[in-house]
């Protein structure tokens, strides 16, 4: 059985965790569970779900603290090891709210979503830990050694004269396997009426090849960070929200034009942007963000999109006329400018790839790093202006590009049957906020080998 057929079986196997249940009824039950958990949490003073949680005085009673992996809006993430098993984990600490507020709704939402999900391309929540004296909440996740941001950065920063990266560009096998895994994870989320809302390279993790990790998980892509994720109310009703979501470079045009009601299509747009970045090693639409409060028009970001894809029209996107910024003609967004003729996605991607690969003009870039037209066709369907005609994750998985050689595999780093990784990537960096013994253990080795 070839890799693609194997992956199709994996998709069918994990495509639905309860295919016999009516999806709308299932979603309603999830909402009821969330409400009950929040009510129970409020009653016991924690504001967090009580099931699958530990109420020890500190999460560090069970884990040995290591380096800090990252810091975001909602808290800190640490590398840690289980004192009982020695297993490696990522511990997410949520920042405390105002006194008396308890655990933040963001934390509750992340727990409620992740504890209901089980898919190889969704990061696994292992446990939750509540310190009721503060109160504070800590989540323990399976630990992934790599993320797409650092993998892309490695190629971008090491264009020449590197044994591990001789051609600058990311091999097509890696690009295709990453996209196959990512779209499988998105398909699972969207089948169960969950929209992630903050897809970007740093939120897409890749498992390493640590001996403690199951071989089936080696090189497996994981969608992470569900702090902004939401559940749809029903298949027929789009999600409505007052907050601005999705990092600007990956934000769909309907959001940039002020849409308040939007769908899971925003995740597909973000995935299309990630697709382009895997090929070109830089964001395809890299606009300057306006920091003004409110739903301000991100004019520079739209300018970057229009220069590549052209100015949108009512003919191909009828709902455009009701979007607030288009309706109000904010910053003359409806007026077509000469530079908005659209260079074309294929031309823009190839130009960016040539800039990223110093040897391209001399013919030193191998064919395996050059995307076929089928890859750009899939990308264009994911970057369709109209969210109603934009490819879904399921449709993207059926695209002919995935049936072409090299076919996607279960391990991002190496082709099936190969004992040698295509590229040796450095692990995610950590800061020096650590206990020395754990840091030394975490530093053993720099890439899958």
Q: Read off the pLDDT of residues 318-365 as tens digits, 9 standing for 90 and up.
A: 999 999 999 999 999 999 998 888 779 999 999 899 888 877 766 666
Same-domain check for residues 110 and 177: no
Q: How confident is the model at residue 234, as a pLDDT?
A: 60
Do 109 and 177 have their domain in common? no
Quick one: pLDDT at residue 244?
55
Domain boundary among 117, 143, 169: 143
> In this structure, is residue 410 part of a structural domain?
no
Same domain, residue pair 122 and 158: no
Query: Do 190 and 41 share a structural domain?
Result: no
Residue 422 lies in a domain: no
Q: How many CB atoms lie within 10 A of CB 324?
A: 13
Residues 137 and 150 in one domain: no
Q: Are 253 and 310 in contact (CB under 8 A)?
A: no
Is the separation of the CB atoms in 448 and 425 below 8 Å? yes
In this prediction, residue 210 carries a pLDDT of 86
Q: Are residues 93 and 181 located together in one domain of the fold?
A: no
- Residue 432 lies inside a defined structural domain of this protein: no
CATH number, domain containing residue 234:
1.10.510.10
**Chain segment 380-427, per-residue pLDDT in tens:** 999 999 999 999 999 999 999 999 999 999 999 999 999 999 999 988
- Residue 424, in any domain of the structure: no
E strand or H helix at 81, and its extent?
strand 75-82
Which regions in the chain score pLDDT beneath 50?
A: 1-51, 99, 161, 434-449
**pLDDT score, position 190:** 97
Number of Cβ within 10 Å of residue 114's Cβ equals: 20
Q: Which pLDDT score, from 0 to 100, does residue 370 have?
A: 80
* Residue 370 counted as domain residue: yes
Residues recognised as catalytic: 198
Q: Residue 354: its pLDDT value, please? A: 86
Residue 282 annotated as lining a ligand binding site: no
Number of domains in the chain: 2
* Residue 271 sits in the same domain as residue 312: yes
Query: What CATH number did the domain enclosing 84 receive?
Result: 3.30.200.20
192 lies in which domain range?
146-403
Query: 378 — alpha (psi -120 to 50), left (phi > 0) or beta?
Result: alpha
pLDDT of residue 437: 34
């Amino acid at each position: 059985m070839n890799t693609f057929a194997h992956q199709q079986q994996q998709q069918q196997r994990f495509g639905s965790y309860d295919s016999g249940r009516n999806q709308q009824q299932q979603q309603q039950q999830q909402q009821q569970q969330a409400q009950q958990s929040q009510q129970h949490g409020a009653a016991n003073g924690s504001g967090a779900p009580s099931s699958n949680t530990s109420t020890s005085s500190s999460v560090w009673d069970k884990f040995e603290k290591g380096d800090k992996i990252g810091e975001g809006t909602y808290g800190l993430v640490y590398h840690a090891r289980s004192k009982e098993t020695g297993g490696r984990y990522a511990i997410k600490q949520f920042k405390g709210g105002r006194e008396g507020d308890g655990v933040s709704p963001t934390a509750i939402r992340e727990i409620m979503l992740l504890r209901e999900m089980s898919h190889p391309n969704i990061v696994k929540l292992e446990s939750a830990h509540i310190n009721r004296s503060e109160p504070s909440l800590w989540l323990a996740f399976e630990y992934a050694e790599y993320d797409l941001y650092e993998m892309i950065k490695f190629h971008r920063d090491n264009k020449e004269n590197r044994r591990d990266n001789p051609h600058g560009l990311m091999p097509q096998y890696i690009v295709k396997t990453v996209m196959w895994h990512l779209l499988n994870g998105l398909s699972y989320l969207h089948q169960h009426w969950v929209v992630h809302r903050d897809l970007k390279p740093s939120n897409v993790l890749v498992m390493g090849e640590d001996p403690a990790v199951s071989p089936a998980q080696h090189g497996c892509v994981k969608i992470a960070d569900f702090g902004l994720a939401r559940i749809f109310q029903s298949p027929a009703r789009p999600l409505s929200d007052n907050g601005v979501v999705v990092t600007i470079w990956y934000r769909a045009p309907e959001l940039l034009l002020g849409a308040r009601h939007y769908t899971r299509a925003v995740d597909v747009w973000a995935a299309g942007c990630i697709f382009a970045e895997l090929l070109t090693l830089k964001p395809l639409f890299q606009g300057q963000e306006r920091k003004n409060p409110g739903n301000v028009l991100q004019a520079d970001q739209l300018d970057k999109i229009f220069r590549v894809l052209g100015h949108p029209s009512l003919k191909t996107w009828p709902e455009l006329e009701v979007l607030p910024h288009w309706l109000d003609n904010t910053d003359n967004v409806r007026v077509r400018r000469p530079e908005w003729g659209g260079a074309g996605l294929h031309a823009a991607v190839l130009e960016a790839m040539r800039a990223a690969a110093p040897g391209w003009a001399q013919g030193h870039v191998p064919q395996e790093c050059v995307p076929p037209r089928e890859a750009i066709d899939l990308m264009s369907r994911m970057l369709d202006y109209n969210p109603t005609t934009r490819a879904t994750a399921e449709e993207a998985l059926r695209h002919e590009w995935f049936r072409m050689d090299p076919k996607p595999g279960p391990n991002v780093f190496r082709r099936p049957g190969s004992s040698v990784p295509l590229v040796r990537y450095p692990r995610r960096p950590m800061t020096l906020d650590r206990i020395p013994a754990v840091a030394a253990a975490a530093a053993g080795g720099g890439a899958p080998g």
